[in-house]
Amino acid sequence: MKSKEGSHHHKHDEKKRWKSIPLGIRILIVYTIALAFFYLLFGITIPTNVFFGVITFGAYARILNLVFLSVLVAVIIGLSMKKHWAGKLAFAFFAFEIVNLAVSFIMRYDVMKHIFIIITSVAVVLLNSLILWYLWEKRLYFKDERHFKQGKADRIFITSITILASLFVISTLIYSAVLYNTTIAVTNRIISQMNGMSREEAMFECTSYYGDEKDICYLVLASAYDVPAELCDEVGSTFYRMACIQAVML
């Protein structure tokens, strides 16, 4: 009986603690959880990473993603437990993401200029900039909870992050649908043209394409034939290059 009562009180205390966290911070925690899940799903199971312009795959990317995932988990726990260091750690991580993206675009624009990567990067920069502003506005809260006051900054943050997240999801869904249909059409055409070709003939066929069609051709080649990973270096877009490397690795 005592055990059940203790469990009930523990759940009640956890629920009370969660409700006592400012709504803006709770939204930030949820966003950080989603970001951590992204690193877990795509960073560990499909290890890729862009670190200050250097595109890494495999073991190196997995190590970097594990480090980032560990930082995000620490941020989530720190914000949930109202730790004073959580605000500084969160500020440092989201600032790093902006700098990393900016440097990577400057250094590797030739392979990162794909429209999907641009849309995602712009959304990340806007969201992270909003988060940095909010964390700065709430810097006193992380020093002492008594400084917390629900005010204009919270309303701006909650409204803005909701709008940005909604626009990003909608634009991603629309673009993904268009990209999927276009990619499927080009892929089917290339597969029919490659039908019966040897690997060498198929590789030569890919040299006759340009832009995204050439990238898709190499992706089809990597999926259908036994080819070296170096083949993916011929893929211009990071978006398709990552898919090509995954096809070779599987």
Asked if residue 218 and residue 129 are part of one domain, the reply reads: no
Query: What type of residue is 118?
Result: I
Residue 191, domain member (yes or no): no
- The answer for 162, left when phi > 0, alpha when psi is -120 to 50, beta otherwise, is alpha
Q: Which residues pair with 48 in a beta bridge?
A: 57
Domain tally, the chain: 2
Q: At which of 110, 145, 180 does a domain end?
A: 145
Residue 152, domain member (yes or no): no
Asked if residue 139 and residue 225 are part of one domain, the reply reads: no
**Per-residue pLDDT tens for 9-37?**
555 555 666 667 778 888 899 999 988 98
Would you place residue 112 in the very low, low, confident or very high pLDDT band (cuts 50, 70, 90)? low
Q: What is the pLDDT of residue 54?
A: 77
**Per-residue pLDDT tens for 187-215?**
888 888 888 888 888 888 888 888 778 88
Distance CA(35)–CA(91), nearest Å, equals 15
Q: At which of 116, 145, 174 does a domain end?
A: 145
Asked if residue 50 and residue 110 are part of one domain, the reply reads: yes
Residue 186, domain member (yes or no): no
Residue 169, domain member (yes or no): no
**Per-residue pLDDT tens for 128-159?**
999 999 999 888 777 766 555 666 778 888 88
Asked if residue 245 and residue 125 are part of one domain, the reply reads: no
Q: At which of 110, 130, 145 does a domain end?
A: 145
Residue 117, domain member (yes or no): yes
Asked if residue 106 and residue 22 are part of one domain, the reply reads: yes
Check if the beta carbon of residue 74 is closer than 8 Å to that of residue 36.
Answer: no
Range of the domain at 203: 196-249
Predicted model pTM? 0.68
Residue 190 burial (10 A CB sphere; 0-12, 13-18, 19+): buried
Residue 161, domain member (yes or no): no
Residue 155, domain member (yes or no): no
